[in-house]
Structure 1
Amino acid sequence: MSEHKDNRIGVLIMSYGTPESMDDVEAYYTHIRRGHAPTQEQLNELKGRYEAIVGGVFPLRENTNGQAAGLQDKLEQLAPGQFVCYQGLKHARPYIEDGVEQMANDGITRAVGIVLAPHYSIMSVGGYIKRAQEKAAEAGIAMSFVKQYHLHPKLLKALTDRVRDGLKRLANASDDEEKVKVLFSAHSLPEKIRELGDPYEQQLLETSAAVAKAANVEDWQFTWQSAGRTREPWLGPDILETLKAVAEEGYTAVLVAPIGFVSDHLEVLYDLDIEAKAEAKALGVKLDRIAMLNRDPLYMETLAESVLEAQNGLNEQ
């Protein structure tokens, strides 16, 4: 550990992580599977999905780097010289532990952790925080965390603007004749989170309702996507099932708002833009999707203001 104390506050920006290249896919998938290598069939399928989204590029890595840089810039504007950002990824390098270790090596003794996901679940954000906390305790770093920011006014405004834009696009493409349903979506988790009293589902519904109200959308529902393939049941209905139901109800257009995600990545670019779009087309339904937040200034402000608030908790420790 560095003997030189750095008085700045470290900010550990945590996210899921993604491979840097096609060569890294197997190691990445093995890490997700807790050390169990995927079968050749599973590996080929995942590689095929990456190939399908513009020829195997890895947008999440670039987007996450951009979000980290954007947050650093915004913190510098709001509190000059007070914060320094680090990345910690769940399933790729630099891992969460690497980010904490780097802070310790740089002489950081106080830090705030934030996950690039607005909604809290013990199985998602909670897992990131646990890993960061354990490593921070070992490294002698005092840490506080932003657990959720799903109702931050600036996040809601950014999402509302996108829903309005998406509805305008659909209306312009069809002379206002389409019967449109807005589908808010997020990554499914195993059903057992309901038994744990986990807030994830409720927080997603709160965000959906707030955005729908602000955008004057009455015709909406929430649906799940991207469930894992395990023996245990996952939260549903999945968006592919929801699209069938929506088509049967006579809707001719759908706007998908994946509010559980903040970046363009596989679950958006493949699961929605390729898989769900193909299903909608087969059902005779026009499907559009809102633009992702990525480096939207309102999202950067949401993150920065959430970090500043968590810093107050750190000062009280």
Structure 2
Amino acid sequence: MMNMGGPSTVPETHDFLKNLFLDGDLIPLPFQRFLAPIIARRRTPQIEKQYADIGGGSPILRYTQLQGAGMAALLDELSPETAPHKSYVAFRYAKPLTDETARQLKADGVKRAIAFTQYPQYSCSTTGSSLNELFRQGKAGEMGDIEWSVIDRWGTHPGFIEAVSQHIEAALAKFDPAVRSDVVLLFSAHSLPMSVVNRGDPYVLEVSASVNAVMDRLGHSNPFRLVWQSQVGPTPWMGMQTGEAVKGLARLGKKHLVMVPIAFTSDHIETLYELDLEYAHEARELGMEVQRAESLNDSPVFIRALADITAQHIRDYSSGKVGPTTTQMGLRCPGCTNGTCGQQKNWFARAGRI
């Protein structure tokens, strides 16, 4: 189960930030190896305070482990012929890092594995970066002889859409029925640098598809917008930014708001601090009544969706209906200049064989 990860304790914040800013797939910087440690060091005190404000660290590892254990238990029932199933966590920037998980796979003697992105929508900067790192570990022989396949995107899967929709409905139910249909649904996703968007990255399109699927499920009951959060640095990023959208809606006279994390599968700093403490506080100061749709976390509907996605993948791959990777994963961005990306795609297309 691949994801960005987050520091489980406040003292881990600096290493998390350093790993993040060193990743050119996520944040392309000039002189990256020189600048990344400097930026991480400067930002550490501010981000440490934010993690302290949400309880002393990110809960993303705890929720990912919970989701993985629930998924594996369901898979034993849905696909008994491939049981027993075990989930592993491979974070890109925080413990357990991919290299640590690779060594554990080898120690456990794993021979068949699925690289399952926990980013519902594909981006070269998130799923692509995690797959690049997994490829590097595999090429170096750190994982032993494993047959790989990939679940690379699932942002319109009915179970995922149902889980998100149910949490929106629960948030809407907290408003007076007289105003409920006027509540604005503000879908918020992690932004991307425009340099990534402009090379043909599919993320913006796929997040939009998730939002449209949710609104179809809700019967287009409310007005909505898709906005973007967590911009870092001075270079242009995808907008409009969530905080600016909140201010704009207040200026336009909107009084009721539900914020919806649409690209996050569990709580972490972007939901618990940015949405809950920063943007919601701004909205209330501007006279708005605001609720936040809960993250998927321990949702049984969501955990069942993860199991259904994986069981279908196992069936399709075992029967030869699909290969190790999807057709879409095999297509590089038209503006791609990352040689590792091409090698990684070819490696996974051969089920992790050199």
* TM-score, with structure 2 as normaliser: 0.79
Alignment check: 8 A CA contact 2:73 2:85 kept: no
Equivalent in 220, 238, 253 of residue 224 of structure 2: 220
Farther off after superposition, 145-154 or 15-24 = 15-24
Indicate the residue corresponding to 2:69 in structure 1. Answer: 69
> In the alignment, is the contact (CA less than 8 A) between 2:51 and 2:269 conserved in 1?
yes
Query: How many residue pairs were aligned?
Result: 301
Structure 1: which 5+ residue stretches go unaligned?
Answer: 1-12
Inter-partner Cα distance in structure 1 for 2:250 and 2:86: 49
Identity in percent: 26
Check the 8 A contact 2:187/2:211 in 1, yes or no: yes
- What is the distance in 2 between the residues matched to 1:39 and 1:185? 25
**What stretches of structure 2 of length at least 5 have no aligned partner?**
23-35, 321-350
Partner of 1:24: 12
- Deviation of residue 125 (structure 1)? 0.8
Alignment correspondent of 1:257: 260
Q: Are 1:144 and 2:149 an aligned pair? A: yes
Code of the residue aligned with 1:115 in structure 2: it is T
Q: Which residue in the other structure is 2:304 paired with?
A: 301
Change in 2 beyond 3 A, CA 1:314/1:97: farther
What is the TM-score when the length of structure 1 is the normalising length?
A: 0.88
Mapped partners of 1:67, 1:205: distance in 2? 25
Partner of 2:239: 236
- Tell me the residue number matched to 2:285: 282
Bigger Cα displacement from structure 2, 29-38 vs 195-204: 29-38
Match of residue 58 from structure 2: 58
Q: CA deviation at 1:194?
A: 2.6
Query: RMSD across aligned C-alpha pairs, in angstroms?
Result: 2.0
Equivalent position amino acid for 2:223 in 1: D
Answer with 285-294 or 39-48: which moved more: 39-48
Q: 1:161 aligns with which of 163, 166, 169?
A: 166
In structure 2, what is the Cα distance between the partners aligned to 1:73 and 1:211?
27
What CA distance in whole angstroms lies between the structure 1 residues aligned with 2:277 and 2:52? 12
Q: Cα deviation per residue 1:258-294 (whole Å; 9 max; x = unaligned)? A: 1111111110000000110121122211111101111
Work out whether residues 253 and 285 of structure 1, in 8 Å CA contact, stay in contact via their aligned partners in 2. yes
- Structure 1 218/288 Cα, relative in aligned 2: closer, same or farther at 3 Å? closer
Aligned equivalent of 1:100: 102
- How do 1:112-127 and structure 2 match up within 5 A? 112-127=114-129
Contact 1:188 1:225 in 2 (8 A): yes
Q: What SS does the aligned partner of 1:149 have?
A: coil
8 Å Cα contact 1:143/1:314 also seen in 2: no
Q: Contact 1:189–1:235 (CA<8 Å) still a contact in 2?
A: yes
Q: 1:135 to 1:53 in 2, by over 3 A?
A: same
Q: Deviations for 1:214-241, whole angstroms, at most 9, x for unmatched residues? A: 112241111111112x232110111111
User: Larger strand proportion, structure 1 or 2?
Assistant: 1
**Structure 2 residue identity aligned to 1:303:** L
